[in-house]
Amino acid sequence: MSNESVNPTGAAKAARSRYPEVQNAPRFPVKLPIHIESQTGESDTESDNISANGVLFHHDVDMPVGSVVDFTISLPAEIVGASEDVKVKCHGRVVRSNAEEGWCGVAVVIDEYRFERR
């Protein structure tokens, strides 16, 4: 039995159904460096929050919903107990984008990822 059949009413269900790929996992307010490669070019930013399914970050360029994004998340060496930062190469797509005060909040679902080995 799905959660929606147990609790089929309300605004929470409507919000979940619009972005199920990103919003069905717990989010953690973690600030991690991200290097973005997309159709709009390359840039650096940091995560606002991250989950098992995706990441939310602010970007100075609008990224249309559905656009493909390749990005690298850097996990700091001191946090993961490594001698240097661990890089996670991700491939995903934009599922939500909204402008606010000169920045765009961009939610990306992660379709594929791999740890970069050195």
**CATH, residue 99:** 2.40.10.220
> Which of the four pLDDT bands, split at 50, 70 and 90, describes residue 92?
very high
Domain count, the chain: 1
Tens digits of residue pLDDT in 18-29: 545 545 789 999
Given a cut of 90, whether residue 100 has pLDDT beyond it is no
Please spell the DSSP secondary structure of 31-72, one letter per residue.
Answer: --EEEEEETTEEEEEEEEEE-SSEEEEEESS---TT-EEEEE
Mean pLDDT for the stretch of residues 41-48 = 93
Range of the domain at 67: 3-116
Structure tokens at 115: 């740890």
Checking if the pLDDT of 114 tops 60, the result is yes
Question: CA of 36: how far to CAs of 75, 88, 104, in Å?
Answer: 15, 12, 14
Q: What pTM does this model have? A: 0.75
